[in-house]
Amino acid sequence: MELAAAADGQRVTPEDWRLLRTLSYYRLLLVVGLVVLCIQGYGPFLFERVDRAPFFRSTIVYGLAALLLLPPVLLRKPWVGAQALLHFIVDAIGICLLVYYAHG
């Protein structure tokens, strides 16, 4: 079994790009769901305490970052390792902000 690899000296496979593309679509789906929850006012019911305005703004910023990350994945440029690192950083910061404003 060949593992998808993004490290130096290893071959990049179509599976690597498929995984990044799937993650990008999942990220957009997550943001759309959170925006709908915020707009409909369900945030306080799902989260015990939530700072509504900062949570909504963080969701929008996370969504914009998700939209900006999608075209490079579809174009397959730059290198998959650089994109994976950028996706990780955006997810870590975005999710941490959302958890922080949801008092999680």
Question: Residue 3 phi/psi, 5° resolution?
Answer: -90, 145
Q: Is-above-0.75 flag for pTM?
A: yes
Are 81 and 17 within 8 A, CB to CB?
A: no
Q: Give the pLDDT means over successive 10-residue stretches in the chain (104 positions).
A: 48 91 95 92 80 92 96 92 94 95 85
pLDDT for 52: 86
pLDDT for 1: 34
pLDDT for 48: 77
pLDDT for 11: 84
pLDDT for 9: 57
Of 84, 57, 58, 70, give the one whose Cα is nearest residue 27. 70
- Sequence-distant (6+) residues with CB within 8 A of 22 are none
Question: Residue 79 phi/psi, 5° resolution?
Answer: -50, 145
- Sequence-distant (6+) residues with CB within 8 A of 103 are 47, 48, 49, 50, 51
